[in-house]
Amino acid sequence: MKIDSTRKEVEKKLAFKIRETMSEISFPFEIVSEEWGFDIIKNTSFLIAELLSNKNTKNDFIKAASKSKANGKNNEIWIESFEVIRDIIAHFPFFDSWDDIYLNRVLLNWNNKNLKNKKHIESFFDKYAGKEISYDIYTHNGENWIVTHTAVMHIPKLKVYKKIYLKDIISFPDVIWTFCIIDYYISFMNFDVLTFSTVSM
């Protein structure tokens, strides 16, 4: 019982920190310095990974996502996309900017300590190789939910040696939009944290 109580307190602090960190991003995303924005996304990635490491918490998150209108009917694709972006950032912490991040199968094997991340990244690219996937992001204008942005990913085949750059797969503004949905969902997960986000979803 005490362990459960401690876990909830830690998760509340993580949720608070995620919302506080994401509050530094505001419209229009295009004017955000990529170096500054990448630091925010990288820091948020590790916080979210820790928050969702508990199976029950992750299930609550997916439940909140499935009920929300902020992502229309594409929640499954969006969650897959978010998780692979998060895993790539976590698996390759030595990159300093979004434009620098590249992948190949050789690089994926540099760190065998995190085989779960590696397998998830490889399975995502194998599943969607050669395809374009997209997900609409909705915001509320006070009366209705409207499509504000469509994030697009162009998934190439993952090669053994040839580098594929993330900037050619998904644009950095689309990554920020994706992470802003995370911030929005967390506000509905009963953590009792202040609403920091400057992004009205």
Whole-number pLDDT of residue 197? 43
Nearest to 120 by CA among 86, 157, 76: 86
Cα separation, 18 vs 26, whole angstroms: 15
By mean pLDDT, which of 34-48, 93-107, 151-165 is the weakest? Answer: 34-48
Question: Could you tell me the maximum CA-CA distance found in the chain, to the nearest angstrom?
Answer: 51
Write out pLDDT tens, residues 142-181. 777 777 788 899 999 999 999 999 999 998 888 888 777 7
Neighbouring C-beta atoms of residue 180, cutoff 10 Å: 23
Q: Is residue 12 part of a domain?
A: yes
Q: How does the average pLDDT of the chain come out, rounded?
A: 76
Q: Is residue 148 part of a domain?
A: yes
Most confident stretch, 3-12, 25-34, 38-47, 140-149: 38-47
Residue 102 structural domain: 2-186
Report which of 106, 85, 88, 11 is spatially closest to residue 50, judged by C-alpha positions.
11
Tokens standing for residue 19: 């919302």
Structural domains in the chain (count): 1
Task: Classify residue 200: in a domain, yes or no.
Answer: no
d(CA 9, CA 14): 9
Q: Is residue 193 part of a domain?
A: no
pLDDT confidence of residue 17: 77
Within a domain: 48: yes
Asked whether residue 8 is domain-assigned, the answer is yes
Q: How confident is the model at residue 82 (pLDDT cuts 50, 70, 90)?
A: confident
pLDDT tens digits, residue range 166-177?
A: 999 998 888 888
Top pLDDT among 199 and 94 is at 94
Contact status, residue 177 vs residue 201, Cβ threshold 8 Å? no
Q: Which band of pLDDT confidence, cut at 50, 70 and 90, is reported for residue 130?
A: very high
In total, the chain counts a number of residues equal to 201
Q: Do the domain assignments include residue 118? A: yes
Which range, 1-10, 40-49, 54-63, 184-193, has the best average confidence (pLDDT)? 40-49
List Cα–Cα distances, 148 to 17, 34, 77, 121, 186, in angstroms: 26, 21, 18, 28, 20
Has residue 196 been placed in a domain? no
Pair of tokens at residue 132: 């374009």
CB 134 within 8 A of CB 153: yes
